[in-house]
């Protein structure tokens, strides 16, 4: 498990002539007792890696759909400790790599050393912490280095070239290309700048480049995944899962297969 596990899972799919698909779901949305079933459904539907959100009261990078899912999860009494305990119980059944998406506040509150240790013990392979800039990873670097967890970096369309190079070099597992300027949420059109943006990232990155934010239809999945190594879909998956429309989630994941 860890850094190489995520990268290898994506590269394996790419070597088979397909693109990677990473669905995002909120841990504890509809109760942690349903997490195993949700993860197994995504795994069986063809997810390459699964991104698991940690509910937080002030999610700065998330749009309304994910914010609402976070609120539902918190109302269900979801905590980091309970998420780790649940993952530990179910991890042997879930064979795809798992990436936790959290903000730094819950990490500090939980305790840095404990957080990284418990993440690894629960079978987590990587982390996305969007509100920690590259320059501030020293806040937790010593604890992170004692694990094999990958720290995935986000790069935006507005990032200057020098910044892109630094983020691409620092990212582990994969590089997360943010396809829109703004928060998460479904969008109807894809930026024309996206193709040259992803090309630039691929030139600088030693890890796969996946695009996310605002991808909501099978056609967009096909279009955007063709530019890089795969896609990440969050808000749309969260919305469909909440509405019980699993067949539509399956269609989205299968769209990377052309």
**Residues 80, 85, 90, 94, CA torsion sign:** positive
Quick: pLDDT tens for 190-215: 566 788 899 999 999 999 999 998 89
Is residue 58 annotated as a catalytic residue, yes or no?
A: no
Quick: pLDDT tens for 23-49: 999 999 999 999 999 999 999 999 999
Catalytic residue among 29, 37, 58, 62: 62
Maximum mean pLDDT: which of 139-148, 214-223, 245-254: 245-254
3-257 fold: TIM Barrel (3.20.20)
DSSP letters spanning 110-153: H-HHHHHHHHHHTT--EEE-TTS-GGGGGGTHHHHTTS--EEPE
What is the separation of C-alpha 60 from the centre of its chain, rounded to a whole number of angstroms?
15
DSSP letters spanning the chain: --HHHHHHHHHHHHHTT--EEEEEEETTTT-GGGHHHHHHHHHHTT-SSEEEEPP-S--TT--HHHHHHHHHHHHTT--HHHHHHHHHHHTTT--S-EEEE--HHHHHHH-HHHHHHHHHHTT--EEE-TTS-GGGGGGTHHHHTTS--EEPEEEETT--HHHHHHHHHH--S-EEEE-SSSSSS--SS--TTHHHHHHHHHHH-SS-EEEESS--SHHHHHHHHTTSSEEEE-HHHHHHHHTT-HHHHHHHHHGGG-
Catalytic residue among 51, 118, 125, 229: 51
State pTM to two decimals.
Answer: 0.94
Q: What are the domain boundaries of the chain? A: 3-257
Is residue 239 annotated as a catalytic residue, yes or no?
A: no
Quick: pLDDT tens for 122-134: 999 999 999 999 9
């Amino acid at each position: 498990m860890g850094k190489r596990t995520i990268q290898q899972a994506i590269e394996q799919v790419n070597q088979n002539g397909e693109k990677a698909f990473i669905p995002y779901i909120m841990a504890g949305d509809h109760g942690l007792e349903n997490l195993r079933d949700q993860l197994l459904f995504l795994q069986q539907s063809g997810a390459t890696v699964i991104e698991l959100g940690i509910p937080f009261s002030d999610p700065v990078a998330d749009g309304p759909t994910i914010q609402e899912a976070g609120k539902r999860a918190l109302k269900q009494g979801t905590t980091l400790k309970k998420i780790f305990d649940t993952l530990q119980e179910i991890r042997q059944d879930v064979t795809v790599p798992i990436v936790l998406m959290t903000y730094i506040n819950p990490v500090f509150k939980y305790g840095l050393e404990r957080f990284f240790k418990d993440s690894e013990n629960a079978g987590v392979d990587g982390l996305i912490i969007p509100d920690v800039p590259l320059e501030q990873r020293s806040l937790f670097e010593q604890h992170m280095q004692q694990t094999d967890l990958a720290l995935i970096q986000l790069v935006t369309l507005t990032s200057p070239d020098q910044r892109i190079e630094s983020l691409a070099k620092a990212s582990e597992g994969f590089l997360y290309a943010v396809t829109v300027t703004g928060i998460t949420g479904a969008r109807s059109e894809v930026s024309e700048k996206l193709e040259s943006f992803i090309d630039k990232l691929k030139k600088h990155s030693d890890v796969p480049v996946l695009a996310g934010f605002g991808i909501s239809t099978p056609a967009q999945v096909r279009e955007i995944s063709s530019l890089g190594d795969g896609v990440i879909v969050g808000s749309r998956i969260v919305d469909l899962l909440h509405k019980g429309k699993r067949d539509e989630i399956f269609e989205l994941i299968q769209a990377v297969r052309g």
